[in-house]
Structure 1
């Protein structure tokens, strides 16, 4: 049996799940790495690097969610 091509609704839902997973994973990693850094006394540069990486992931997720929101309003 051949697989059906994904519909617009299925593709939209998949993309939103990816955005949600990125936000959740970013938050967990940010908190865990921050705590590990405090426990091991990492230099402030590493905290800044972790914060910037998390910020980049959040900005990416916001941008993709905004694009999906605009696409959804056009349908």
Structure 2
């Protein structure tokens, strides 16, 4: 059996997909922690809303990168 090396573009897409997964997991954990901590400390709504906006920004970034990965696989 002959083993072939993966295509460099496949390796790049795999790295991007791994990064997206890590960003999503960390974002979810940090967002949930911020929501809990905000409730415990009685933070003002504007600060809690800031955490929400940061999480949304991370989710949008992950969506854009995932779309780029998908488009790269099709092309």
Runs of 4+ in 1 over 6 A off after TM superposition: none
Partner of 1:47: 48
Match of residue 35 from structure 2: 34
Question: Are 1:19 and 2:20 matched, yes or no?
Answer: yes
| Counterpart Cα distance in 1 of 2:30 and 2:43 | 16
Aligned-pair distance for 1:8? 1.2
Report the TM-score when normalising by structure 1.
Answer: 0.88
TM-score (norm 2): 0.88
Confirm whether residue 9 of structure 1 aligns to residue 10 of structure 2: yes
Aligned residues: 69
* RMSD (Å) for aligned C-alpha atoms: 1.0
Structure 1 counterpart of 2:58 = 57
Structure 1: any 5+ residue segments left out of the alignment?
1-5
Residues of 2 paired with 1:19 and 1:44: CA distance? 29
CA distance in 2, matches of 1:38, 1:57: 22
